[in-house]
Chain A
Amino acid sequence: MDPRPNPRYPARVATLHAFANPTRFLKLARPLTPALFWSGVALALFGAWAGLTLTPPDDLQKETVRILYIHVPAAYLGMAGWGGLAVASLSYLIWRHPLANLAAVAMAPVGAVFAALCLITGSIWGRPAWGTWWEWDGRLTSMLLLFFVYIAYIALARADSDRGGDGRVPALFGVAGSVLLPIIHYSVIWWNTLHQGESLIRGKIDPSMVWPLFFTLGGFTLFFAGVVLMRMRAALASQKVEARMKRMAAQ
């Protein structure tokens, strides 16, 4: 099934649309899923091992600093997950391609898990470092809000599809929720917060300590992509099953 060249579309748009074709998507996603998943697991495991054994402890925090190799990638993916969800939602609203909606729905629980992991590891670190499990400061509160917004999106998307909705309402919610991303990122700059400022982007982590972080960052990202592809394939497969059941029932 080859899409005929359409003179009204520029070539760039035509290739983008070709990837949005479920058959082509599946052809690409089938080998990509295990490759992304397992390379992600390998990189993350190596980064975590290196962060536990090969790097020096921090001068002030001592060994507790090592939680950063999990906390930072979890925080980044909690936010990047919503970024991806918002972009997919926006393109679903504009181009109405079902695959974009499928991608947004597939990303939500994965991003929520990473946001939760970020909150949990941060809390565990906060007890020895700050002297508290939790404080209502700008960074902590906005990240907790993002976690709740993920939960709300998952509930909304499920309710919408249960009632036979076309996914436009959850997609709007997905776009609107992205307002939290700059708030989380700039919270430590705009307000006095207990949470420290940017370390990684401003290069404030000593090179001898920072390098395993790049392995866990890369590994978590590949793992995220692999799990999202897996969920999208599962959703497409269950759609196919439902369609076939309907056809069989009609016969």
Chain B
Amino acid sequence: MMVKPKHQRLALALAALAAILGAGGLALSALKDQAAFFYAPGDVAGKPLPLGKNVRLGGMVEKGSLTHEADGVSIRFTVTDGKAKVPVAFRGVTPDLFREGSGVVAEGQFQADGSFAADNLLAKHDERYMPPQIAGKMHKTETLEK
């Protein structure tokens, strides 16, 4: 039976597609650790800290951990990912969405004592979107009206 050129092209094109996707997958699995935007506390726990390097630390701001210093612009809080915790110190203006129980990405350096000195904070929004009256049932929001 004759092999039609159309079928030959179909087989070739599908093989090429599979090869491209396979190569992409291999490259990505090699990138896995390098392509992370930030370290989670659990990623660095029990490992030598990347001291003296600018890195990002991301996780949730632990509830009840946020304290303001007397100078009014310095804050301390704890970042947690459920596996480990890292205390963070920061001096400056925080983004609007920065709050306890919410996601944060801190840019700065790890210190020798295991804490993190942040130069910049980014708020990380989670994937939940809800109006205030529903959110109020889950975590208390203070408004001017109340």
Binding site for B on A (CB under 8 A): 55-61, 65, 68, 90, 93-96, 128-132, 135-138, 172, 175-176, 178-179, 182-183, 190-194, 196-199, 202, 204-206, 208-210
Contacts and interface: CB of A to CB of B under 8 A. Distances in A.
Judged by DSSP, the binding face of B is: mixed
B47 interface: no
Nearest to A55: B131
Nearest to B32: A190
Interface residues of B, number: 45
Contact of B32 (A60, A191, A199, A206): A191
Contacts of B91: none
B37 A193 contact: yes
Given A57-B132, A209-B129, A129 B123 contact: yes
Given A179-B24, A183-B28, A196 B132 contact: no
Contacts of B120: 131
A131 B123 contact: yes
Contacts of B35: 138, 190-191
A60 B9 contact: no
Contacts of A208: 131, 134
B131 A58 contact: yes
Given A95-B6, A132-B122, A191-B35, A204 B17 contact: no
Contact of A175 (B17, B99, B102, B128): B17
Q: Which of A57, A59, A68, A205 has the most CB of B within 10 A?
A: A59
For the complex of A and B, the 7 pairs showing the least CB-CB separation, nearest first, are: A131-B95, A56-B131, A59-B135, A137-B37, A179-B24, A206-B130, A199-B127
Contact of A58 (B21, B23, B105, B129): B129
B49 interface: no
Contact of B37 (A129, A179, A191, A202): A191
A137 B102 CA distance: 19
Contact of A183 (B9, B24, B97, B102): B24
Contacts of A57: 131-132
A129 B96 contact: yes
